[in-house]
Amino acid sequence: MRFRKRPVVIEAIQFTDDADRITELSEWMGEVTVSYADPARPVVPIATLEGVMTAQVGDWIIKGVSGEFYPCKPEIFAATYEPA
């Protein structure tokens, strides 16, 4: 059997390490903290349905159909999504 993925409109914000974007993410997701354990690679930890994942600078953070959040690499995002 073959199946086609249903078209769905998602919300997404690309993570950049600047104060305005971090504020935007916090307003959208709830309190967001950026980890600077490696100062050259800041990350945002995200509690997903599969456990904690991290978004690196340039990754997209997607809000799923059930309101969950998860990170997505920019090349996967570009191959999968287009502006609605």
Distances (CA, A) of 75 to 11, 67, 78: 17, 23, 5
What pTM value is reported for the model?
0.90
Alpha carbons 69 and 45: distance in angstroms, whole number = 11
Instruction: State the pLDDT at residue 84.
Output: 86
Total domain count, the chain: 1
Examine residue 22 and state whether it is found in any structural domain, yes or no: yes
Examine residue 2 and state whether it is found in any structural domain, yes or no: no
Exposed (0-12), middle (13-18) or buried (19+): which is 65, by Cβ within 10 Å? exposed
Examine residue 38 and state whether it is found in any structural domain, yes or no: yes
Examine residue 73 and state whether it is found in any structural domain, yes or no: yes
**What digits encode the pLDDT tens for the residues 34-61?**
999 999 999 999 999 899 999 999 999 9
Instruction: State the pLDDT at residue 8.
Output: 86
Instruction: State the pLDDT at residue 68.
Output: 95
Give CA 29 to chain center in angstroms. 10
